[in-house]
Amino acid sequence: MRPVEIKITETFTSIYPAMGQYKQVISIAIILVLLVLSIYLFLFGPLFPFSPLIIGFKEKEYNKARIYYQQGDSTDEFCIVDSMIHDIENFHHLTFKNKVEIFLTNSDNKYKHITGTMARFITKPLYGRIFISDHAKIEYRNKKIHFETYLKHELSHAILYQNMSLTRSLSYPAWFLEGMAMVAANQAGTDGYYTYEQTKEKIREGYFVEPDDWGTIISIKGKSVLYCKIENKYWFIYSEYALIIHNLIIQYGQEKLIEFLKESLTNHDFYHLFNTLFGQNFDIYLNSIKNQ
Distance of CA 49 to the CA centre of its chain: 10
Give the shortest CB-178-to-Zn ion separation in angstroms. Answer: 5
Give the shortest CB-207-to-Zn ion separation in angstroms. Answer: 20
Mask for 121-160, x = binds Zn ion (CB under 5 A): ----------------------------------------
The Cα–Cα gap between 282 and 278 comes to 9
Return the number of other C-beta atoms located less than 10 Å from residue 241's C-beta: 26
Residue closer to Zn ion (CB basis): 178 or 213: 178
> Residue count at the site for Zn ion (CB under 5 A)?
2
User: Residue 170: which residues within 8 A CB-CB, separation 6 or more?
Assistant: 125, 216, 217, 218
Residue closer to Zn ion (CB basis): 101 or 178: 178
Residue closer to Zn ion (CB basis): 65 or 185: 185
Of 110, 145, 115, give the one whose Cα is nearest residue 129.
115
The Cα–Cα gap between 46 and 29 comes to 23
Give the shortest CB-44-to-Zn ion separation in angstroms. Answer: 25
Residue closer to Zn ion (CB basis): 100 or 181: 181
CB burial of residue 224 (10 Å; 0-12, 13-18, 19+): middle
Identify which range of 126-134, 170-178, 209-217, 280-288 contacts Zn ion by CB under 5 A: 170-178
Residue closer to Zn ion (CB basis): 37 or 170: 170
Q: Interface residues with Zn ion (CB under 5 A)? A: 178, 181
